[in-house]
Amino acid sequence: MEQSSYLKGGEFLLREVEDVFIPEEFNEEQKMIAETCNDFLDKEVFPILERIDTHEEGLLRDLLRKSGEMGLLGVSIPEEYEGFGQSFVTSMMVAAELGSAFSYSVAFSAHTGIGSLPLLYYGSEELKKKYLPKLASGELAAAYCLTEPGAGSDANSGKTRAVLSEDGKHWILNGQKMWITNGGFADVLTVFAKIDNDKILSAFLVERNYPGVTFGAEEKKMGIRGSSTCQIFFNDCMVPVENLMGKRGEGFRIALNILHIGRIKLGANTIGGCKRALLHSVNYANERKQFGVFISSFGAIKYKLAEQAIRTFANETAVYRTSQYVDSTINAHMEQGLDKGKAYLEAIGEYALEAAILKVFGSETQDYIVDEAVQIHGGMGFSAEMPVDRCYRDSRINRIFEGTNEINRLVVADQTLKYAKKAGSPIFDLAKKAYDECLNDKIASASSNDYYTYYVELIRNMKKSALMIMGRAYETLGKLYNTEQEVMMSISDMIIQTYAAESVLMRVRKTENLKGSEQNAIYRDILNCFIYEASSRVYKSGMDAVNAISEGAEFEKLRTALIKLTACKPLNVKESRRRIANRLIEDNRYAF
């Protein structure tokens, strides 16, 4: 993809893009890596899921070590530290392929993401050389220690403290961390603490065997039961001064940047979880008979299968679109003279809005799909003997991981407002223009007779509706805007649905250019169904906000404008879904 064709963070609200990266464009090397991931899961993970869930001593740790031997742990680690230095798209593809592996996936993601990346991007050269090769090989396992009993979403309120020893050679840590993934076996810990009376966190690299580090019992959890999760205590723990990562007081920034990465990668993880649950769904529907026929022949089941596929397609599409934007931004920063590490961090920070979108959309997509998977199985879906039991239980954590979905919705709305306030940003001007058109009855619905042009117009209108409501809400509420979280979340939902819809449109249009309209007919069905639903969700969320911020004549003007901006052509959605479901049933798997 040419660099001129990608969008900067949040820019999708302002302009259209001609090209995106789509999964159909994976090269041969990426396909081979994906095959390696799937072979590893089939041989090493899926046959022992029950054993993993029972916390068999050393089992999950051994799987991470085997992952390292296969090269999977070093995908994002540069070659100079004995990794493979692959692109961001490739690292996301690995996260997606391994995202179907339940507790193993959580351990893998924690190790390769939040566990290793603070060291990679903020550690000194000495620390990187000492630890990164062993993290890439699986000789060492990593964990990330941020959350405390009194500091969850408000991470910077943590009480863990660090003071300098009298001889100036060590930081002395005291405090408690909880919900630490991989905590039961991790060798290397990224620990956040405040130095002296600092108001902002700092970050430290702590080894498991340092004196003063103790570990609590494994937590008993609703899902991801095989994942190691425990509390960690620091009692006068002596940490070498050279193990401070980044600068003093830079820990909160480190935590935020790593969370942005975690959010994007969680979006990728959910792709694998969605596809796994969908596989179980269609397999069971093709095997289970009622009233003398397979239940896959029933319209109610076809509806469920089709919706699972449509939402999986949208989720996957949005993830890879964003992933290539990150890669393109990294390359652009490097061409301007930044080293790769700084270029990576700048790029991740730029897409904070998109990261939050992917986290919310992916986790809620997966929760929908696993819920319908249980429903398709009927009574058997409620049995712990069926695989959808684990799909259902393990999916639920994703709406809490990496910042709750409520926090991330607020991030979407707040980040959009920050973009609007930047010098030279046209967002408020566009919002005011849309509002003026609304007051003067100049809003027009999408009307083109050309198939793709019509959807371009409709999505442009969906963006206009989100900006118009955001601008009007901010103007009406003023300083109270950030306290009206319900309004902010409604605006966020408008933006999330619009981003997903535009992603699907661009993927379908591009595949048609590659394959031709006849082969792409089923993709058109997916696009038709998704935008048909997304436009109505944008209208509903917009009206929730309008009801809260306006009344009288203004209310009527805004309501009429929203109706026009989100109006979608009639669609026989039943027949479209049936065609999608029939393809699934014929393939007996998700093969889009």
DSSP string, 283-295: HHHTT-EETTEEG
> What CA–CA distance (Å, rounded) separates 341 from 355?
19
Do 348 and 355 contact (CB within 8 A), yes or no?
A: yes
Strand (E) or helix (H) holding 191: strand 188-195
Q: What is the DSSP letter of 325?
A: H
HEC sequence for 126-186: HHHHHHHHHHHHCCCCEEEECCECCECCCHHHCCCEEEECCCCCEEEEEEEEEEEECCCCC
29 is annotated as an active-site residue? no
Which letter, b or e, does each residue of 423-444 get, where b requires 16 or more Cβ atoms within 10 Å of its Cβ? eeeebbebbebbbebbeeeebe
Set 402, 484, 512, 533: catalytic member: 402
Do 334 and 106 contact (CB within 8 A), yes or no?
A: no
Contacts of 483 by beta carbon, 8 Å cutoff, 6+ apart: none
> What CA–CA distance (Å, rounded) separates 551 from 560?
13
HEC sequence for 368-427: HHHHHHHHHHHHHHHCCCCHHHHHHHHHHHHHCCCCCHHHHHHHHHHHHHHHHHCCCCCH
Q: What is the DSSP letter of 25?
A: G
Continuous H helices in 205-336? 251-285, 299-335
Rounded to the nearest angstrom, the gap between the alpha carbon of residue 162 and the centroid of all alpha carbons in its chain is 32
Active site residues: 402
